[in-house]
Amino acid sequence: MITAAVLISIGVLVRFPVSARSVSSVQPGAPARSRTENVVLITLDGARTQEIFGGLDLDVLRSTLPKDRMAEQTRAYERYWAATPEAARVKLMPFFWTVIMAQHGSIAGNLALGSSVRVTNRHRFSYPGYAELLLGEAHDDVIDSNDKRRNPYPTVLEFLKQTLHLDK
């Protein structure tokens, strides 16, 4: 089972059906190739699911203001607030939602829609989380800090490269 580290990062799998090789071989008017040639994994370390899926968090905004100031009177509210979570998240992260997710990707972890993703590593910070994301399971005995050390286990990407006999 592959898990994503939602508490410390949001893993997004993005599939782009184009590579430099295929772009140079496409003729004008020719049908587009549907074979996926690249996989891009994007992670956002420290991102809160509340902002990713719901946009501006009014409680966070209010916590930054003097007691006599209302959130609705701020530039941040004017710029990023919207009536629905879907509209608010687009205002906060327009490229992510209108290009990456709308055209190329998939994401998990929106609790409001019943999509729960949890880490299983006990450390709950960057390197153990990224390792879990790429290995499919935690290895707390070996990957226990953010120290620069090589991961001794094959990642899912290395497994696919070997299994599918890929060059890159």
CA distances from 91 to 27, 65, 80 (A): 36, 21, 5
pLDDT by residue (tens digit) across 134-168? 999 999 999 999 999 999 999 998 998 899 888 87
pLDDT at 1: 30
The reported pTM is 0.67
pLDDT by residue (tens digit) across 18-49? 333 433 344 445 555 556 677 777 788 888 89
pLDDT at 150: 92
pLDDT by residue (tens digit) across 108-117? 889 999 998 8
Q: What is the domain partition of the chain in residue ranges?
A: 42-108, 119-167
Average pLDDT score over residue span 53-70: 96
Cross-strand bridge partners of residue 9:
45
